[in-house]
Homo-oligomer: A and B are copies of this chain.
Amino acid sequence: MSETERIKRQILRALKLRPQTFWELINHQDGHIAAFFEALQSLLAEGTVLYQGHRFRLVREVELHPLADTLCETCGLGVVLRGYWEGIYRRFLEVTQDRPLPTSDYDQGFVRPVDTVRRVAYIYQRGDLEETDIFILGDDDLLSVAMGLTRMPRRVVVVEIDQRLNRFIQEFAQREGLKNLEVYDYNVVEALPDSLKGAFEVFVTDPVETRKGLRLFVGRCLEALRGPGAAGYMGFTHREASLQKWFEFEKFILSAGLVITDILRDFAIYPERENQWEHFYETYEIMRKLELPLPEVDWYKSSFVRFEVVEGPRVPEFEPPRDLRELYFDEESWATPLPSYLKGP
């Protein structure tokens, strides 16, 4: 999907809501004014849109959902789930009631259900959800389920190591009759299957935040992207990643030909109670440093970051870690549980 293609769709779904002036419409799309003008001209030229009485209007039916806005009315910045999106959120809560709980074997932990659906809504706002091919590397948040409920993406492919999650998502897809939601058993240290390379317009991942883990997870995701205009989303914390690590990672992203378009601080919260991961704390590095009680508030948070391919992508060299210890641990992983297979006898 080119940038122009994304802008066109943002325009069309806004017009499906109602005819709009130039100045209303520019607020419903992400392009700069020249690119917006070009997209409009192209829609006028191909006869999809008409300009009359200073308003643009749809001339023929388009297969898009009318714009379902999610901008927070209080502050104008965050995401609020109302109307259509409130319905998706309710259904998401229902269908994920019996989700598999996190296992320390894969450094898991899920964000609040509201944050998962808010992430999907933000991806939607940007024009990256509807009629796109989406690649998800690691899905303990069950983002694919929330996306599946919208029925908006053309295709969603989940690659995930945890077979419990994969079965859960597959059963959901079967129950809902979602033929375009595919799930594969996949360990990120293995090469990505050729059939998945260069096949997607969007990726989403929540990488392990060691230096090697970051490059490995996002490197695989970059391999999955199609070309200019494709977008990537990731969760990235300040809790276990220093600014030095952010700095190195941003250089990696830019060297791949992607621009960083959004960094939303503490967008997602990991709920202590729902994750039921009290026993994880036994092996956390931080618990050896200070006599600490188990958390009485949610404290693990994650920023939501969006990139967009400007050139390439050129996947930079990245080296898979030597072993799982190197994948999961570095000097900043103070709140990562020791997997059972790394514990002593």
Contact = CB atoms under 8 A, between A and B. Distances in A.
Interface of A: 3, 21-24, 26-27, 30-35, 37, 40, 51, 54, 72-80, 118, 237-244, 246-247, 250-251, 254, 259-267, 269, 286, 289-293, 295-297, 299, 301, 308, 310-311, 331-332, 334-335
Nearest to A265: B262
Contact of A24 (B34, B40, B297): B297
A49 to B, nearest CB: 12
Contacts of A291: 54
Contacts of A23: 292, 295-297, 299
A240 B33 contact: yes
A332 B34 contact: yes
Nearest to A255: B251
A121 to B, nearest CB: 11
Nearest to A22: B292
Nearest to A115: B76
A260 to B, nearest CB: 6
Contact of A251 (B80, B254, B264): B254
Contact of A250 (B238, B254, B269, B332): B254
Chain B CB within 10 Å, residue with most, of A238, A251, A301: A238
7 contacts: A3-B243, A26-B239, A32-B240, A72-B75, A72-B78, A254-B254, A260-B260
A334 B246 contact: no
B240 A293 contact: no
The 6 A-B residue pairs whose C-beta atoms are closest, nearest first, are A75-B78, A77-B78, A72-B75, A247-B259, A74-B74, A23-B295
A238 B162 CA distance: 40
Given A263-B262, A308-B243, A77 B77 contact: yes
B263 A261 contact: yes
B76 A78 contact: yes
Contacts of A308: 243
B239 A261 contact: no
Contacts of A297: 21, 23-24, 27
Given A37-B289, A331-B34, A334-B34, A243 B262 contact: no
A264 B75 CA distance: 12
Contacts of A334: 33-34, 37
Nearest to A253: B250
Contact of A261 (B3, B31, B72, B246): B246
A246 B263 contact: no
Nearest to A37: B289
Contacts of A301: 27
Given A54-B292, A54-B293, A310 B244 contact: yes
